[in-house]
Structure 1
Amino acid sequence: MSIIFLDTAIILLVVSLVTASVPDTHITVSGISSGGAMATQLHIGFSKDISGCGILAGPPFYCGGSGMTTALCMTGPALLISVTVLEQKIKYYRLLDKIDDPVNLKGDPV
């Protein structure tokens, strides 16, 4: 239970730092397993302010939730994950202005 509170605290800290527009600061996010999923979502969602992402044993963007997408992402091999579908989802969320411009991801260490 304390891990859940820690993850929540980390998310709130990162989001508060990002929304505070900390000047001249390089913010990176990292995580293992479900924390890797969190790191991925934050990096793509707030790419204007987050400059790098460390992911260990975490799924790619849009592989959370429910349904077949989650099942394919969480059971190997990774070849079953459609990069095209993931790219389309990123473009769709950008079109809705729900995430920062993916151009900001270029050159970010992952």
Structure 2
Amino acid sequence: MFRRAFWFGAGAAAGAWATTKVHRKLRSLTPESLAQRAADRAVDTGHKVREFALDVRSGMARREGELHDALGLNHAPDEPGVLPGQVLPERVERPGIESRRRER
């Protein structure tokens, strides 16, 4: 008698557990639940993309600073309105007749 009662109780518990699992799975597959899950994942993906963009921007700024340092572009120009490396017209050397003859 106890054996039958034990197996009856075990079967009832397994049935209740399986029913609960099936109902949870069905609730998770409703259109509202799927839409909510998709929205949550989209928000998470947006945050990850934004973090990636910020990392790229900071890396670009750091590398740009390194390049400016390497090329000497961080120094202020001697004359206002003159860009680094820019040659002013009065400083351009114009070759004379002698230098033109040497170039040929």
TM over 0.5: no
Q: Going by fraction, where is helix more abundant, 1 or 2?
A: 2
Q: TM-score, normalised by structure 2?
A: 0.24
Q: TM-score, normalised by structure 1?
A: 0.23
Larger Rg: 2
Larger relative CO (CA 8 A, sep 6+): 1 or 2? Answer: 1
